[in-house]
Chains A and B, each alone.
Chain A
């Protein structure tokens, strides 16, 4: 998918139908139940965390450029090399340049959605560099030649048995089919790769502007091993990861881990400030930070600015009734689920994923689950309208065409209570006609109730306790 956010393919309708009809996928997706409520539990259990994080993220994105300037200064002060990358191609080229300069032949990667977004692994491979994904799920995805299907749990589209079968087919090895022993098998397979790596590639979950610190969050410890062993590290950091102060992590870290996996804290959270220092016994001699824009900074000041508050926890995916039935591949995008349906068209200026905002029931479960209170369902509705004109954030004049005459007349009619009363009374008697109209227009137009609420209410309050029937 070199550099592309989305690979071309069948329509979202066809992909979802195929996903729903796939019994193996449906069996695997039942596991999403384990994290169904991480986001809503957080919102209910720690509303204080949610509200302070939501406010903090919005304050930060409103002044994104100022924080990025401060971050760049602090990173350089700490001895890191900063590469601002306006788009995916520039980011890939920055990494390739570092790899070329060091004669890199082997790269260990820890899972990072930003590197997926820019198609980094494919670009490195095309340059003749061996890339090994080290996150267990991401490794399984890489060996299968697939792409991740979930922000946090990339191989959620397979059962343990399915993962083991893939490894068996692709490696020809005897692979155990049970989770514990399969995990040990992957551990033994990847240990030598860490030791042999010339370069480690990571993302960062946050970047602290005040101190130039990258925050790397994992459970497996794979990022830490890669960073400690490889002589050079490149971190690909999307610009919205910036947080102003170290103290902000006291809110954002527990928020991220609770929403992502329901943990108080993941097993490893590492604060990286600069490369190895004199006297240090391990860690990279050189640290490069690629600051990735790729369509993010232009969202500041638009109605979609709030999307930059996203911390990539995956809570909206777990809560989404659509995602839970079709999984990430049906979206055919780097980012899937509700956040992906918003972000994909935004980052690509409407060129990709324009149909994704329609792949939603607008039930609002994503909005409820979001730990930073992004109104995802509202943004999906806005996008449905704004994508009709191409780029949803391009400044454009108000549509010249007025609303259709029918809609205008309808609006004027129902603005008056008397007209509303009269027309709904007629509609209640013409239920059959409305049903036929619905079928004719291809929409699920619900038939009007046989008894209007206002009639039922009047009968109830005057007639003393009549029922709805």
Chain B
């Protein structure tokens, strides 16, 4: 098995799965019915994307591996998502600011992946990129509304940005697997993605009258070494409960 490719697919799949799981936590408790629909729908798209990446990963791994074993039978240190997507939802501004930061990156990444030298990755990305574009636009519009809305919404949006900015850079910082993907023509040069990402976010935050904070501790190693925040364990405890308690249970 090509372990680099497998790890790269896990990075893609785990980001989608964990953010999808987080967004679905808003189901039934979002501030408005329309937001409830939106966050649940975005979560659903992400779960579908995760399934596509895991199908490919499971085929590489062979044996008894399926998308379900990959999602439900790995422990936290084996997950390769970035810390940003596993952070708790917080208030609505926290969720939207995390989403706009991640979606902007994810859109640029998937645009590049449509040109991947790996045809299957290209095909999955070509479908996902349209969905992510739609999500990114939604979160951008809410960022503008919160930042330029009432004094309270502005304050909450600014606080949300201050709180998560340190987590923003992990996705853009190449790890060994990203270097391998770039050399193999499978994934993009993250340095290039980063400059586009910064330019896009600067524009959005400027329009939303939000100040970009100075980054503090940014050396995070969840996607490259599986060093996660404490929050991922709680997500997995809930998400994996059924398969852990009743192994091989079928729906």
A and B: real partners? no
